[in-house]
Structure 1
């Protein structure tokens, strides 16, 4: 573990967590849809993965990323 004060946080921000949760839900939905042979839902979940990545980028640019002004790092 790093004890360096300049540690960027490795994505422990609201933007990163939101992106990961949306993409994880998309993968879960896509897996279930694949199991039930719902092709349209598989492709919709693929699109949702892109939405999750875009959402993380937008939130990061809005200041909720690791280096954003709205993000306050928690002490460990």
Structure 2
């Protein structure tokens, strides 16, 4: 049966990614490069968190 990514690892990665894109967009709109790069860093955190949680058994097998 397909799970369609409905796992804690997927949800965490998606929510952190959404926050990262939001922070990055705000940084671009207000013209703040440090805020933009914080958004980029958060995107990397989302990828790492998703992979770590998947390795811990909280993602799809």
Which runs of structure 2 are paired with 1:16-55 in the superposition (5 Å)? 16-55=10-49
| Bigger RCO (CA 8 Å, 6+ sep) | 2
Return 5+ residue gaps in structure 2 as ranges: none
Selected match of 1:10 from 4, 12, 22 = 4
- For the pair shown, the structure with the greater C-alpha radius of gyration is 1
| Match in the other structure for 1:64 | 58
User: Which whole-Å deviations, capped at 9, do the CAs of 1:20-53 have from their partners, x for residues lacking one?
Assistant: 0001001001101110011011011111101101
After superposition, the CA RMSD in angstroms is 0.9
Return 5+ residue gaps in structure 1 as ranges: 1-5, 68-76
